Each structure stands twice: as C-alpha cells, then as structure tokens.
Amino acid sequence: MGRSLFDSSDAARAIFEQADGILGYAVSTVCFEGPEDRLQETHHAQPALFVTSIACLEAARERDVLSESPPAFVAGHSLGEYTALHAAGALTFEDGLRLVQERGRLMQEAADQQAGTMAALLGLEEDAVEAVCKETGTEVCNLNAPGQIVIGGAESAVEAAMALALERGARRSLRLKVGGAFHTSFMQPAVEGMERAVAETPFADASPPVVANTTAKPLTDAAALREELVRQLAEPVQWQRSITYLAAQGVDSVVEFGPGRVLTGLVRRIDRSLSTRNISGTADLEPA
C-alpha cells in the first residue's frame, strides 16, 4: 500500500522517508512489499497504516485537489483518530508516529497476555448485539453502521456469539483477521503505558474539532484529546454516531484518506445524503 503515492508525489515520498528515519526500520518496505503476515502484526500494522494515511493527505495537499474551504471537523476510526489529530494540528507527524508505534507495541503486549479475536455481526441492531454479548461474555468493539457491529473477546466466546447471532437473525457473522480483541477490556493492560506515552507527548489544541471515537462528540482541548487516546484503547468506536453527528451539524461531504475504502462505504450506509470521496492512491488525486 502507498507505492503509487511514493512514486508520484514528492510530498508522500518525504513522509515515507521521514517515517523510516523516525522508526529506525524501513516501514516503507513493509507498506510496499509486506509480507502480509508482517503487515497483520499489530506493532507493524499500526505505523504502516498511519504513515500511508498521512502520505495520502500530504499528496492531496500537494496536488491542491481538496476543497478551498477548510474542513469543519475531522474524525478517524480507531487508529485513524491519530491521522485526524495530525490533520487538525494537534500532533506533529513525528510525535504522532511515535505514539502510534508505542500504541501498537502496547496493544500487541496486551494481546499476547490475553489472546482474543473479533467478529463482524451483520444484520442485527445494537440492542440485539448487546444481548448476544451479555449471554456469551463478549463485548462490543465497533458500532460501524446500521446492521454492522463488531464484537470481541476470547476466541471461544466470539465463536459462540457468532453462532447465537445467526440464531437471532443476523444475516452473516464474519471472523476478522486481527491480532487481538481491540477496543475491549482485553486491552486494559495497555492503558497505563498509553497514559504515560500521551502525557510525555506535546499536544496542541485541535482546529478543526476532532469528533471523538468514544463519545461521538467534538474535542478541541489538548488535555481532552490526550484522555480520548487513552480511553479509545478499551472502549467501543462510535463510528455510526460520529457520522450522524457530523450530518446533524450541516456537514454535506466527507473525504477519506488512507488505504482502502472501508470508511467511505460505512458513511454511505449511515447517511446517503453525504457526498463521499476517497484518496488512497495516485489515481484519486485528480481534481474533484
């Protein structure tokens, strides 16, 4: 991921090269060549995704393909919240990348201590999923869109929840290729280390506001942003509510930066009145 941007954009290439120097290993090679099993390792995946997302943003700025009007809000899903904070001026690229590297390390350690997994349940509403979780000992991880909710927990518990969800009318239950039960209590061992990391990292107030994962409410204060990055480790991502909030504030268009088009698809499912655009490679850099 990101190779076309590296080859065609000076701004994107500078991001990858800077990241290699900051991390002390060639994250660019991991992004471009994998292998896939290395990219799926939490401590490698998170820096790779952050760097590629920022490269997409900087390439778009370089080509001047974005709206002349500044964004009213920024938001990011899980790890994407770090990209949003950088876009809002709350974190420098270097500080954001170092935090992401530490987040990946801490989450990997937590996953190694207590093995877990995640699954997407399709076709059930939130209250039905919560009932399934209560009966199986699983937890809600991501409230992504109507009828698309991700749960997590111990592997046996998730398997039981998937089966029960199908009995309760779910259209589909799908195991995810992840390294742990992220955004659940399984990540609690990472919280203390993350608190230290964010306390030691310079933050500025955000402008525009960042719509927080855990509350779907706007944040600008640096202290509140620090708290949010700690909380989101072990609490569900409120993505559907975040997009609903944006629409209620009069937002009419959304641009996704980063590899893939998952969030663009979720936005369309949440509110079809919103105009969407995705920038994940060179082909997306033509003026709108």
Name the catalytic one among 78, 185, 273, 280: 78
Say how many C-beta atoms besides its own lie within 10 A of residue 281's C-beta: 19
Look at phi and psi of residue 65 and say left if phi exceeds 0, alpha if psi is from -120 to 50, else beta. alpha
86 classed as catalytic: no
Judge whether 180 lies within some domain: no
Return the CATH number at 259: 3.40.366.10
The pTM (predicted TM-score) of the whole model is 0.94
**Same structural domain for residues 97 and 163?**
no
**Same structural domain for residues 141 and 275?**
no
Q: What ranges make up the beta strands (E) of 67-222?
A: 74-75, 117-122, 139-145, 148-153, 172-175, 210-211, 218-219
**Same structural domain for residues 93 and 123?**
no
H or E segment to which residue 277 belongs:
strand 275-279
Residue (of 123, 125, 105) closest to 43 by Cα position: 105
**Same structural domain for residues 72 and 150?**
no
Residue (of 90, 92, 127, 112) closest to 222 by Cα position: 90
Q: What is the tally of structural domains in the chain? A: 2
Alpha helices in 24-151 (DSSP H): 27-33, 36-39, 42-63, 80-87, 93-113, 126-136
Per-residue pLDDT of the chain (288 residues; tens, 9 = 90+): 778 888 888 999 999 999 999 999 888 888 888 777 777 778 888 999 999 999 999 999 988 887 777 899 999 999 999 999 999 999 999 999 999 999 999 999 999 999 999 999 999 999 999 999 999 999 999 999 999 999 999 999 999 999 999 999 999 999 998 989 999 999 999 999 999 999 999 999 999 999 999 999 999 999 999 999 999 999 999 999 999 999 999 999 999 999 889 999 999 999 999 999 999 988 888 765
**Same structural domain for residues 38 and 141?**
no
Q: Is the peptide bond before 71 cis (omega within 30 degrees of 0)?
A: no
Residue 42, classed as helix, strand or coil, is: helix
**Same structural domain for residues 268 and 166?**
no
Judge whether 225 lies within some domain: yes
78 classed as catalytic: yes
Name the catalytic one among 43, 44, 77, 183: 183
Q: Which domain holds residue 52?
A: 3-112+185-284
Look at phi and psi of residue 75 and say left if phi exceeds 0, alpha if psi is from -120 to 50, else beta. beta
Return the CATH number at 142: 3.30.70.250
